[in-house]
Amino acid sequence: MRFWTFVSALLLLLGALARGDTLVLKNGGKFEGKLVEKTRTHYVFDIAGLGVQRFTLDQVRRVDKGETIQDEFERRRKDLDPKSADAQFRLGLWCEEKKLGRQAKRMFARALELDPDHAPTREKLGFVKHEGTWRTAEEAAKAEADAAMPIEERLVAILEAHRLGKTRRLASERIWYWPPEG
């Protein structure tokens, strides 16, 4: 009895995230999730945080049907403009708010497929625009540091890299970059 009371309390906390169907037990416990199956002898209920659980018919007072957060996500996804990066981005933000991390990543990726230069999505994912190109903050800081390196040091680094056969590695680190004369 104590176990089910604890589980019920835990699930009420998770219920705000899961919503959907509500399984009301005769002992007063409530579970939020999705009714998977009802047979002659039991209910099979998928409960957020606990997975699939079985309850005998004599344990259950009633099942209240409702929309799960996943159902709401699917409905929202179907209703939005499939060619709008802004719409995909806004749904991604909604997913984050509802703790749907996998779906949020999918919506942000879709926004970038539609518009690779979509600034709100790029910024949300931690990119900064540096010299007209979206880069991670780390890449932008490295490019700034490389650009600040005195030309003599760059020449020495390039010559030493060439001597050691590491030119390609240093080129990928942008040490070979030459600033425009001015």
CA distance 22 to 182: 70
Give tens-digit pLDDT for 32-89.
888 999 999 999 998 866 789 999 999 999 999 888 788 889 999 999 999 999 999 9
Structure tokens at 177: 């970059």
Measured CA distances, 162 to 61, 107, 169 (Å): 78, 44, 10
Kindly report the number of other CB atoms within 10 A of residue 159's CB atom: 11
Annotate 75-86 with b (16+ C-beta within 10 A) or e (fewer). Answer: ebbeeeeeeebe
Give tens-digit pLDDT for 116-140.
999 999 999 988 888 888 888 888 7
pTM: 0.54
